[in-house]
Structure 1
């Protein structure tokens, strides 16, 4: 069958990646759902063009299979060879046909799981709910006790064909695995099967954000901007903190100890992990506004109390103006810049990770409390921060 020719489309919402797009044949169209897109896994047009033919062939083969299933199948005529009668038929054991327990179907267990376990974030809860429903749409609504690793790999292959990244595939299968672990705790299954899966070859490789180069850093802070954005970007670049950690700061978290001004994330701060609860010294050359009370930044918070989205929307135009349209250079890139600053100063990885919250932190350490505040401050104060273009170094 002749299908529509494929074309390449670039989606800004997907990090400017290129997608191969094909219009579905009429028999497979459903309402406004008339096209299929699959990721080429790259932001480079020439590379996408090299991959376009292979991906389009995969889409066409998928069309063939789906259209074949729509064709009426010829009736099957069964011919039975009864053979001689079995005189012992009435005495032979009858085959046991297992009965489906409707109460153990995924669709029945899922609402109990979503409602029954504690969730740290509404976003995580909603994501798990969506991922499990998608899993059911791929492998069917079966009993939780008959789910196997094969079902997880079938789901991974489906997500791979949709152009999902490897980290996305792992996250979605982890959502299903979380439900099965809960089922194990409730006695619905003996053992959760979705452990020790090998998923590294499924999905596109994760693209890591890149630090800004020195010229882009200088250009970033030379731009006119509101004091709010200048302060948050300056703290990000000189502490290596995560965007949400800074966006949620309260003035009461700015403390002084032995002459060192630092940000205290050890108490009730909203951080990514327990290991992120730490004390982060401020660079002695960073000019801070006069101390106030309450929140340091007035970015809008979502249902989970996070301010990442609003803060990112406010800061990204300045990053774009400095670094151009490169999708791998974003606000989070400043965290990479900070880690590079410490590496270039030959600061140990242990100290680097402790400052940026990649270790056990000040609250979760099992073996002591890590490098002292003075040692952390000494490392940070070695960084040349003239790129901030503050009044004293303008």
Structure 2
């Protein structure tokens, strides 16, 4: 039975492509006729038959003509459908990035719009997500990060699908963006002295995280996820590097950091508590991950009782201010904290500052003359 689509017939509800090969290329092409099933979906048959006809015309007009596998050629010509969830998995498999922000963004979008093919999402969906995230109380900076993650995933997906469509998450406006920014406060020297003294006196492993944070400027997850193989007490250094249980936030986060003063003393105390374990803080290790958020909640509750809105992350900002006040070079400060360099490509050339130079500047700002107290 013939059909309205060129070179197609239909039998028992299935469409077939049936076309003779031109005589002058039969020998080179390896067959006298192309016969292949196009499936049962009538809305897909026309474009697929037209694409196959065009591809065959090009193959037969080539000089010389080469044989091809018709099934593989047809598979390549079929429209690619890539759902958002599948697109995210492919994207993450190709990128060495921290997966959590991306997964949170995709999960939020799927919750309100469903898991659809990537090219089916619209600008209206992007605006709906912004409204949804803001209604949950998210800061505009958080919403922007979610949009950036989605923009990257959609950019990948639309390119893979060869979709002629603008990325719906490109330049999405956020109402009153930036107006809810709250400047993060920093600790005073007196507060640091008190916190460090109380932590050392407490003899509690979790509390000892605080002086290490304060004297390295590291992120909480970077310290909570340390293994003893990352610590060299003799050299007075720690290596912050990714592992299966705790990835890092960025590629530039991997670094060697000196331990000085109270930070070194706290790590030495920890060596007597957990040296028999692989991890420095085994209580925050689960079967498949390090639960740094749990440690953060515990420590932030302790800090909140005495210091209001100050949190564990404020130690990181505080150390940057301390080094800035000591007139430490910006590149060195960035290197110590694993911050992104703001000075352009040239700042990433070479090995960076040696550990001895980093130690010299950290010792200049290290906290001394602490008083021991267990009141925290």
Q: Shorter-chain-normalised TM-score: which range?
A: 0.5 to 0.7
- Corresponding residue for residue 216 of structure 2: 239
Alignment partner of 1:133 is 2:110:
yes
* Cα offsets for 1:276-295 (capped at 9, x unmatched): 11110111564223573521
Give the Å deviation of 1:121.
Answer: 5.5
Could you state the TM-score of these two structures normalised by the residue count of structure 1?
A: 0.60
Alignment partner of 1:301 is 2:298:
no
2:103 & 2:286 partners in 1: Cα distance?
Answer: 14
1:253 & 1:264 partners in 2: Cα distance?
Answer: 5
1:116 & 1:384 partners in 2: Cα distance?
Answer: 45
- Corresponding residue for residue 36 of structure 1: none
Provide structure 1 residue ranges, at least 5 long, that are not aligned to the other structure. Answer: 1-98
Give the Å deviation of 1:253.
Answer: 1.5
Aligned with 2:298 (options 305, 311, 314): 314
Give the Å deviation of 1:160.
Answer: 4.1
From the superposition, tell whether residues 316 and 156 of structure 1 become closer, same or farther in structure 2 (CA, over 3 Å). Answer: closer
1:216 & 1:373 partners in 2: Cα distance?
Answer: 28
Could you state the TM-score of these two structures normalised by the residue count of structure 2?
A: 0.62
Residue-pair matches, total: 280
Give the Å deviation of 1:272.
Answer: 1.5
What secondary structure does 1:229 align onto?
A: coil
Aligned with 2:176 (options 187, 196, 201): 201
* Larger Rg belongs to: 2
- Corresponding residue for residue 211 of structure 1: 186
Aligned with 2:144 (options 170, 173, 178): 170
Say if 2:195 and 2:210, in contact at 8 Å, map to a contact too: no
- Corresponding residue for residue 13 of structure 1: none
1:250 & 1:146 partners in 2: Cα distance?
Answer: 45
Alignment partner of 1:156 is 2:127:
no
- Corresponding residue for residue 184 of structure 1: 158
Aligned residues: CA RMSD: 3.7
* Correspondence list, 1:222-371, <5 A: 222-223=197-198, 224-255=201-232, 260-266=235-241, 268=243, 270-284=247-261, 286-287=264-265, 288-289=268-269, 290=271, 292=275, 294-301=278-285, 305-323=289-307, 326-327=308-309, 329-359=310-340, 366-371=348-353
What secondary structure does 2:365 align onto?
A: coil
From the superposition, tell whether residues 221 and 185 of structure 1 become closer, same or farther in structure 2 (CA, over 3 Å). Answer: same
- Corresponding residue for residue 381 of structure 1: 363
Provide structure 2 residue ranges, at least 5 long, that are not aligned to the other structure. Answer: 1-42, 45-77, 342-346
Say if 1:211 and 1:337, in contact at 8 Å, map to a contact too: yes
Give the Å deviation of 1:354.
Answer: 0.9
2:138 & 2:353 partners in 1: Cα distance?
Answer: 40
Give the Å deviation of 1:155.
Answer: 3.9
What secondary structure does 2:284 align onto?
A: coil
